[in-house]
A and B are shown apart, each in its own frame.
Chain A
């Protein structure tokens, strides 16, 4: 008897593991998507979110339409269909291309940047101290209005971007999202959601200029890795969201013009991981924005 009792203690750990395992696998049924260890999107602005990496794109799964946007089916006048760097494909009319001006940094003092970790890089290294950033690693067009990553001056509480836009006024709003949505939905569904966001932003900020920035490319090497992050897909989506520009209040900025190389990917020297610009090179992005600014006539 004593032997059996003595021996059982060696089974305790493995049994506990099995037992807690049941709980672990069971909890997914108990709780919703925000499960064990999942930090709600955009917890820390500058944090690499170590939790689940799918966009909570539940609202678009299965809604894949047959409308596959190809690289050439794009509106706008400066279509160069074969241009790998999605060159001048934009929704901009000829008129507003002439409106692009070069401005100084104070142009961005009343600007807002919404974006994912690439925008976080801009925040960290571009020395735009007067600009507002609502950016977070992992941000997607789906989470854009639900992630609590914004703060209102004077309050420490984190609110959603939508709430912040209700309470603050910006003259320019720059958006760059899209890399995290690769692998979820299609270019069309992405564009659809993006369009909804733009509409809402227009409602909340009727006087603001909205800049849709192209999803920044990745290096060709990174693109060739064989996963859902590839430049063909990025360009497809860029072409889709470019159509959302109206040339009056919503504009499309092809940032990739400044950072792409002749192979159609991000310049390798500019990045370590193939996805993010190194700190020393974010100025290239910033300068591109400053050289493609719109001033609306009053």
Chain B
């Protein structure tokens, strides 16, 4: 199931919440796991067994390698490595299968819902247990909540077990949480449905026309549009996750912090998909030595992290192009900008980011290398256009100007501040209610498949 769907918002969620709220606290975790299984199995009937298998594996190995057990260090180590390998291989298999099997929409076909996310959380759990940071969880339901709770199973935020264990065991569910969570959820829903999905239509139009046939201004608009679409899509979804968590009594961490306000690429990645960055830092970068072992090792460590990050996003050449260019920029910044002038600048840093980041997203967006080359060719004018419609960007601006401007606004911290003000005001809430139904209306017309609703 996905958050922006009728079945989730109008059926599953209300029913679940009612049951959850009337359930006594001691039994809430059972309800949560049961609900999460329903949520997961809804679209993925077979992959639910994969998830259950992974949870069982995590539970039993976690218990076996836990510090408190009296088995030998060697066997613990072996078991840890085995469990980690199994989980990693599973993820690798599904990541590579779409590429090897040559399916067109590699993103959505074959990959079990949330596997990248729950795998990483299982890996972090096993590692933390092995290193003695936490004890192996004794109650299966509690671990199951951690791995499979529906607010975060599909797309994170990625949390460590230690960060959430307290709340799993004991949390307060209040009407304040409910209301606050609902408002957060709504904000996310609006960003996803009324902004991201609309902007994605623009990007789709550009693809439909063919990259060789767009004007240079339109190519730039396209790059910015995709950048915003991706952001609002993911940020919106993360907010929905956080909001749902709140409604259930959990405080999930933020995943985005106005990333387009960053002034250096390093800073950008501290603000974008924050929980993934933290995961890589904690479980890969620092164990490798981080930046404390000299410049060569630092370069190696960064390269490894970015290589893995690229692969995590997808097993295609374009993802590596994306990831490794970012790695390059980060390295260059480290070497050339030791005084952090970029981040201290007032204007230049912003311009730098608004120029570089959309270009990296172009790599991310286009999986075919030839098509990517054509796109860059149109961006910088070194490939001649074929059948370019004169004034195409003007038409686009006229059709989408509102969404582009809104998008720009929501990239700034001002948007969040305004939201915080209006969400507690009666008129603001009325507006939110109306926007909510606008979202529902849009979802109903779109029918979840974003390309089904495109009229020809």
Query: Do A and B assemble together?
Result: yes
A contacts, CB < 8 Å to B: 7, 9-14, 16-17, 19-21, 23-24, 36-37, 44, 46-53, 116-118, 121, 124-127, 137-138, 179-180, 221, 227, 271-273, 275-276, 278-283
Measured in the bound complex, the distance between the Cα atoms of B456 and A116 in whole Å is 7
Contact of A125 with B387 in the complex, beta carbons under 8 Å: yes
Contact with A17, one of B423, B436, B453 (Cβ below 8 angstroms) = B436
Q: How many A-B residue pairs have CB under 8 A?
A: 121
Contact of B388 with A279 in the complex, beta carbons under 8 Å: yes
Contact with A48, one of B201, B429, B452 (Cβ below 8 angstroms) = B201
Return A233 CB to nearest CB of chain B, in Å.
Answer: 14
Contact with A279, one of B183, B210, B436 (Cβ below 8 angstroms) = B210
Contact of A17 with B455 in the complex, beta carbons under 8 Å: no
Measured in the bound complex, the distance between the Cα atoms of B434 and A59 in whole Å is 32
Contact with B210, one of A14, A16, A137, A278 (Cβ below 8 angstroms) = A278
Residue of A nearest to B425 (CB): A12
Contact of B399 with A44 in the complex, beta carbons under 8 Å: yes
Contact of A46 with B399 in the complex, beta carbons under 8 Å: yes
Interface assignment of B71: CB less than 8 Å from any CB of chain A = no
Contact of A280 with B183 in the complex, beta carbons under 8 Å: no
Contact with A53, one of B183, B204, B205, B445 (Cβ below 8 angstroms) = B445
Contact of B455 with A48 in the complex, beta carbons under 8 Å: yes
Contact with A37, one of B212, B426, B441, B454 (Cβ below 8 angstroms) = B441
Can you list 27 A-B pairs with a CB-CB distance of less than 8 A?
Answer: A13-B179, A13-B429, A13-B433, A16-B433, A20-B430, A20-B437, A24-B440, A46-B399, A48-B205, A48-B455, A50-B201, A50-B453, A51-B445, A116-B456, A124-B392, A180-B455, A271-B208, A273-B204, A273-B208, A273-B451, A273-B454, A275-B456, A276-B456, A278-B208, A279-B209, A279-B388, A282-B387
Contact of B387 with A280 in the complex, beta carbons under 8 Å: yes
Return A213 CB to nearest CB of chain B, in Å.
Answer: 14
Residue of A nearest to B444 (CB): A52
Q: Which residues on the A side are within 8 Å of B148 (C-beta)?
A: none
Contact of B456 with A280 in the complex, beta carbons under 8 Å: no
Q: Which residues on the A side are within 8 Å of B440 (C-beta)?
A: 24
Interface assignment of B198: CB less than 8 Å from any CB of chain A = yes
Contact of A10 with B455 in the complex, beta carbons under 8 Å: no
Contact of B104 with A221 in the complex, beta carbons under 8 Å: yes
Contact of A48 with B454 in the complex, beta carbons under 8 Å: yes
Closest 8 CB pairs of A and B: A279-B213, A278-B210, A138-B455, A10-B179, A16-B433, A20-B433, A280-B386, A279-B387
Contact of B429 with A12 in the complex, beta carbons under 8 Å: yes
Contact of B212 with A280 in the complex, beta carbons under 8 Å: yes
Contact of A180 with B456 in the complex, beta carbons under 8 Å: yes
Residue of B nearest to A14 (CB): B182
Q: Which residues on the A side are within 8 Å of B175 (C-beta)?
A: 7, 10-11
Q: Which residues on the A side are within 8 Å of B281 (C-beta)?
A: none
Q: Which residues on the B side are within 8 Å of A53 (C-beta)?
A: 445, 453, 455
In the complex, given contacts A11-B175, A24-B440, what are 10 additional A-B residue pairs having Cβ atoms less than 8 angstroms apart?
A7-B175, A9-B424, A12-B426, A47-B399, A48-B205, A52-B445, A117-B456, A137-B455, A137-B456, A278-B213
Q: Which residues on the A side are within 8 Å of B424 (C-beta)?
A: 9
Return B112 CB to nearest CB of chain A, in Å.
Answer: 21
Measured in the bound complex, the distance between the Cα atoms of B180 and A12 in whole Å is 12
Contact of A20 with B387 in the complex, beta carbons under 8 Å: no
Measured in the bound complex, the distance between the Cα atoms of B424 and A12 in whole Å is 9
Contact of A17 with B433 in the complex, beta carbons under 8 Å: yes
Measured in the bound complex, the distance between the Cα atoms of B441 and A37 in whole Å is 8
B413-456 near A? 1/0 per residue, CB < 8 Å: 00000000001101001101110111011100100000111111
Interface assignment of B75: CB less than 8 Å from any CB of chain A = no
Contact with B430, one of A16, A179, A272, A283 (Cβ below 8 angstroms) = A16
Interface assignment of B178: CB less than 8 Å from any CB of chain A = yes
Q: Which residues on the B side are within 8 Å of A272 (C-beta)?
A: 207-208, 210
Contact of B198 with A50 in the complex, beta carbons under 8 Å: yes
Interface assignment of B395: CB less than 8 Å from any CB of chain A = yes
Q: Which residues on the A side are within 8 Å of B205 (C-beta)?
A: 48
Contact of B434 with A20 in the complex, beta carbons under 8 Å: yes
Interface assignment of B389: CB less than 8 Å from any CB of chain A = yes
**Which one of B179, B201, B209 has the greatest number of beta carbons of chain A within 10 Å?**
B209
B324-335 near A? 1/0 per residue, CB < 8 Å: 000000000000
Q: Which residues on the B side are within 8 Å of A273 (C-beta)?
A: 204, 207-208, 451, 454
Contact of A127 with B387 in the complex, beta carbons under 8 Å: yes
Return B377 CB to nearest CB of chain A, in Å.
Answer: 13
Q: Which residues on the B side are within 8 Å of A125 (C-beta)?
A: 209, 213, 387, 389
B375-409 near A? 1/0 per residue, CB < 8 Å: 00000000000111100100100010000000000
Q: Which residues on the B side are within 8 Å of A49 (C-beta)?
A: 455
Interface assignment of B100: CB less than 8 Å from any CB of chain A = no
